[in-house]
Amino acid sequence: MHDFRSQTCAELNKSNVGQTVRLSGWVHRVRDHGGVLFIDLRDHYGMTQVLCDPDSPVFAEVEKLRSEWCVRIDGEVKLRGEGLENKKIPTGEIEVYIRDLEVLGAAEELPLMVFGDQEYPEETRLKYRYLDLRREKLQDNMILRSNVVASIRKRMWGGGFNEFQTPIITSSSPEGARDFLIPSRLHPGKFYALPQAPQQFKQLIMVSGFDKYFQIAPCFRDEDPRADRSPTDFYQLDIEMSFVTQQDVFDTVEPVLKGVFEEFGGGRPVDTDWPQISYRDAALWYGSDKPDLRNPIKMQVVSDHFRDSGFAIFAKLLEQDGTEIRAIPAPTGGSRKFCDRMNAFAQKEGLPGMGYILWREGADGMEAAGPLAKNIGPERTEAIRQQLDLGVGDAAFFLAGKPKVFEAVAGRARNEIGSQLGLTDTNRFAFAWIVDFPIYERDAETGKIDFEHNPFSMPQGGLEALNGDPLEVLGYQYDLSCNGYELLSGAIRNHRPEIMFKAFEIAGYDEDEVRSRFGGLVNAFAWRAATRWMCGGN
């Protein structure tokens, strides 16, 4: 027999009854039933119930076992009594009577329990990560990640992509976050950077004549923690393609991700329609560039209905340049109680509240209620209702000011309304391509023009577009969102030196600085082919 096991803790069933077996694993839980000791023995593959009574030659040793001790047991497979089966596990029809025991490793008192679903502080979980990772949910997550990566690789290879690895030690590159720096031993006082993404290297691969590249790439960014991303490093599916348009990229990526979500999405349906929404429309309709399309609510601009109206706060605000009023429709939300809840939500977000109008049955038919309705009058209120396509039992909430200031709050309010009213269909995956990102933005304090998004994206309209208003220049850049999360970012890359120099010049980087920072890339483009590229994101 093998030194440690004849089977894993997930393999035994009633066909093994009567056999002598050897198992190794961790003591998951110990239960004392009137002098009979039952132990759930766990390994990576599953769980087997083993037991011991005073007739066993090792009963005294078994009595000493505690949670997370690592042991090897020899025993006889027995059928569980009728009605005592555990149908939740593959080995639930049998149990193993312990004849021999070897303690492979005793455990001290545990700082966190592996058994159960208790919550522990993050500091404790990270300090004892090796124990945390023994827990069933974390084990499942790790295996899921491994399986997803294997599935992605299979699909990319099937699509004609080649997998290459790019260097980890590189030079600094402006990609939207701070670099992690490494001091150079050979060049004192100088530093290497860990790559925020393998962008420059993979572009050089394409210049070298390869057609389709991918890798599961490590990315390092010194940025604040986010709920959906590690604050230091993460891995992403990173790809590049030659001789493609933006639509070619979408047509290539969609079946890969659709297949992965169908395979690992727990049976939830994946929407077949992946709309392409401009960045500006996404901000207007959803208050986010990663909208959750499971929520059907679309915000609308209703400024004209409040201009020169009796509601002085909004009317005076609209006299300022760059301001507007947006409405968030709330179908079925037309009750005072719900409107009060949304006002409380707005106050938690740092606002004094949100104006609202609700529509209800009145003595003479449908009537509008709420402070705004009283101030602007029935004609304007009715025009708002018709624009938003609302009726009896519905409501609308309003936010005002400069969109850049209130858009994010409006987006969160939209999500809250959709969730509270049960409008958001949580049992599906809804994807959307966000396109037409602006390349530049103006700093509100300094007035300086800088890159708003990836500086290596090809501007729509090429060099000619860069001779106009920089704030109107859009890039061939895109994100893919799903259920309110950004899944990937990509672009047709700026691969023409004359366009690259001009694009960086607008943001305050002269040609010498561009050559200094990205000399390898610029030099390679002197011998470029007529290539276009895309980059898969995290």
Closest of 286, 254, 282 to residue 270, by C-alpha: 254
Non-local CB neighbours of 181 within 8 Å, separated by 6+ positions: 172, 191, 192, 193, 194
- At the top level of CATH, the class of 295-420 is alpha beta
Contact between 359 and 392 (Cβ < 8 Å): yes
Contact between 221 and 198 (Cβ < 8 Å): no
Q: What is the pLDDT along the chain (538 residues), one digit of tens a residue?
A: 789 999 999 999 999 999 999 999 999 999 998 889 999 999 999 999 999 999 999 999 999 999 999 999 999 999 998 899 999 999 999 999 999 999 999 999 999 999 988 899 999 999 999 999 999 999 999 999 999 999 999 999 999 999 999 999 888 766 667 889 999 999 999 999 998 888 888 888 888 889 999 999 999 988 887 776 677 888 999 999 999 999 999 999 999 999 999 999 999 999 999 999 999 999 999 999 999 999 999 999 999 999 999 899 999 999 999 999 999 999 999 999 999 999 999 999 988 888 999 999 887 788 999 889 999 999 999 999 999 999 999 999 999 999 989 999 999 999 999 999 999 999 999 999 999 999 999 887 888 998 887 788 899 999 999 999 999 999 999 999 999 999 998 999 888 888 988 999 898 888 888 888 777 777 777 765 444 444 433 3
The identity of residue 412, as a single letter, is: R
Contact between 365 and 382 (Cβ < 8 Å): no
Rounded to 10 deg, the angle between the 511-525 and 497-506 helix axes is 160
Q: Going by CATH, does the domain composed of 14-105 fall within 2.40.50.140? A: yes
Distance CA 21, CA 50 (A): 11
Contact between 159 and 256 (Cβ < 8 Å): yes
Pairing of strands 477-482, 485-491: antiparallel
What phi and psi, each to the nearest 5 degrees, are found at residue 79?
Answer: -80, 135
Q: What token pair was written down for 69?
A: 């001790």
What phi and psi, each to the nearest 5 degrees, are found at residue 359?
Answer: -115, 135
Q: What token pair was written down for 164?
A: 């290459």
Task: Please return the burial class of 251, using the count of CB atoms within 10 Å of its CB with bins 0-12, 13-18 and 19+.
Answer: exposed
Rounded to 10 deg, the angle between the 336-348 and 403-420 helix axes is 130
Q: Which residue has the tokens 């992403």?
A: 236
Non-local CB neighbours of 3 within 8 Å, separated by 6+ positions: none
Distances in Å between the Cα of 206 and the Cα atoms of 146, 255, 490, 498, 526 are 28, 23, 15, 19, 14
Task: Please return the burial class of 306, using the count of CB atoms within 10 Å of its CB with bins 0-12, 13-18 and 19+.
Answer: buried
Domain ranges of the chain: 14-105, 138-264, 295-420, 431-525
DSSP helix/strand/coil, 134: coil
pLDDT of residue 281: 97
Name the pTM for this structure: 0.87
- Supply the Cα-derived Rg of the chain in whole angstroms: 31
The identity of residue 329, as a single letter, is: P
Contact between 502 and 201 (Cβ < 8 Å): no
pLDDT of residue 534: 41
Question: Which residues in 338-357 are b (16+ Cβ under 10 Å) and which e?
Answer: bbeebbebbeeeeeeebbbb
Contact between 296 and 492 (Cβ < 8 Å): no
Contact between 461 and 303 (Cβ < 8 Å): no
Q: What token pair was written down for 521?
A: 């890339």
> What is the distance between the terminal CA atoms of the chain, rounded to a whole angstrom?
47
Distance CA 264, CA 148 (A): 8
Non-local CB neighbours of 208 within 8 Å, separated by 6+ positions: none
Closest of 197, 38, 138 to residue 535, by C-alpha: 197
Task: Please return the burial class of 116, using the count of CB atoms within 10 Å of its CB with bins 0-12, 13-18 and 19+.
Answer: exposed
138-264 to CATH, choices 3.30.930.10, 3.40.50.2300, 3.40.50.300, 3.30.43.10: 3.30.930.10
Contact between 368 and 358 (Cβ < 8 Å): yes
